[in-house]
Amino acid sequence: MDTRKTEGHSIEYYVQLYEGVRECVESDLVALGVFAEVCKGLRMQIIQVERSSANGSPASEKQLNFLGKLGVKIRPGLSKDEATRLIDEALERREDVYTVPERIP
């Protein structure tokens, strides 16, 4: 039994998953395509769980530092979600416009 892990599941799990898909279709190529889509769905589920568990966590040091660089006032107890929203809003408001200088002949 292979106990190595990838994205929360053992490799054996993915092998069994592929074999199950392969039994349902006539082509290895189709089986790989279906398997890839199923794995994408599994990854999205993992990401959603990770994001939902981070909802109440405090903002990271990197977020707080970046907010400071953007000139945003930081209130105590700022959550990761709130920090992300504030960063997005501050970046939208930024007026840093980079123009390409005209070429002088």
| Domain span at 88 | 61-93
Residues with Cβ within 8 Å of residue 4, at least 6 apart in sequence:
10, 11
| Residue 102 belongs to a domain | no
Q: Do 70 and 33 reside in the same domain of the chain?
A: no
| 63-77 pLDDT tens trace | 999 999 999 999 999
Q: Do 12 and 46 reside in the same domain of the chain?
A: yes
pTM, to two decimals = 0.44
| Residue 28 belongs to a domain | yes
Of 22, 85, 91, 54, give the one whose Cα is nearest residue 14.
22
| Residue 68 belongs to a domain | yes
- The pLDDT of residue 100 is 59
| 1-46 pLDDT tens trace | 444 555 567 889 999 999 999 999 999 999 999 999 999 998 888 8
Tokens linked to 16: 């069994």
